[in-house]
């Protein structure tokens, strides 16, 4: 049996400012940093074989900060397979040092939903301009994207195949995997893990900085209770 840890990044500076963020690459707020440390405390005794994160700094920061609390003392090392000299010159030439690392893979396929023309806009002011019902549909419907942005359906269309092709094989090998990502990409993955339909997935509320843990055994996923953070439904 292996374990999958899903972790939504801590509060970002734009979360704090109530702005649509999407693919804008902003860092964690002070509260978000604390949330990352707290998440690390929760999983500090759980062996982690591979870390998967996104190309956005708030998810990467969350994973790195969380792992500073890990009991193994292993150092997360970000891999750059397409990074030119970063890959070539970033080789580790000590087997002892290599054994004390955890590989970190990053991908844009698990990035947050791209909010298009809403990115950088204040959520309250946008609701006043376009109407609360319209903004609610952009944010909460399954297949209605904001102008020039992505719907949850479109986010799932990239997140779920990545999970199946890149993460599932690691779990089948018996490795424990930590995914540090975003609210909508993680909702997409949970939709797959829990076999939710497009109405059920809309009810998921994934808290920031709270690990959600699954057991994987013989092709089946089950929520690790009570270690896993409860997922609320609205």
* The pLDDT value given to residue 219: 92
> Whole-number mean pLDDT of the chain?
95
234 pLDDT higher than 60? no
* The pLDDT value given to residue 233: 59
| Structure-token pair, residue 46 | 């759980």
Encode pLDDT of 56-97 as tens digits: 999 999 999 999 999 999 999 999 988 789 988 999 999 999
Domain boundaries, the chain: 2-80+110-211+222-233
169-177 average pLDDT score:
98
Active site residues: 9, 112
The pTM of the whole model exceeds 0.85: yes
112-123 average pLDDT score:
97
User: 2-80+110-211+222-233 — its CATH code?
Assistant: 3.40.50.1240
Q: How confident is the model at residue 231 (pLDDT cuts 50, 70, 90)?
A: confident
Encode pLDDT of 78-87 as tens digits: 999 887 899 8
* The pLDDT value given to residue 20: 97
């Amino acid at each position: 049996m292996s374990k999958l840890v899903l972790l939504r990044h801590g509060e970002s500076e734009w979360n704090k400012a109530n702005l649509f963020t999407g693919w804008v690459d902003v860092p964690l707020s002070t509260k978000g940093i604390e949330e990352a440390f707290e998440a690390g405390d929760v999983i500090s005794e759980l062996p982690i074989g591979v870390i998967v994160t996104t190309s956005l700094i708030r998810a990467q920061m969350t994973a790195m900060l969380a792992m500073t609390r890990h009991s193994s003392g292993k150092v997360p090392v970000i891999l750059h397979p397409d990074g030119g000299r970063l890959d070539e010159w970033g080789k580790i030439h000590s087997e002892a040092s290599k054994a004390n690392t955890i590989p970190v893979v990053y991908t844009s396929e698990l990035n947050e939903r791209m909010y298009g023309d809403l990115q950088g806009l204040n959520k309250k002011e946008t609701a006043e301009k376009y109407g609360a019902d319209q903004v609610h549909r952009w944010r909460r419907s399954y297949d209605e994207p904001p102008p020039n942005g992505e719907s949850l359906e479109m986010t799932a269309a990239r997140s779920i195949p990545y999970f199946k092709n890149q993460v599932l094989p690691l779990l089948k090998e018996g490795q424990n995997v930590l995914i540090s990502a975003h609210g909508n990409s993680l909702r997409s993955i949970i939709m797959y893990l829990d076999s939710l339909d497009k109405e059920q997935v809309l009810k998921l509320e994934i808290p920031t900085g709270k690990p959600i843990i699954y057991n994987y055994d013989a092709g089946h996923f089950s929520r690790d209770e009570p270690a896993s953070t409860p997922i609320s439904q609205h």
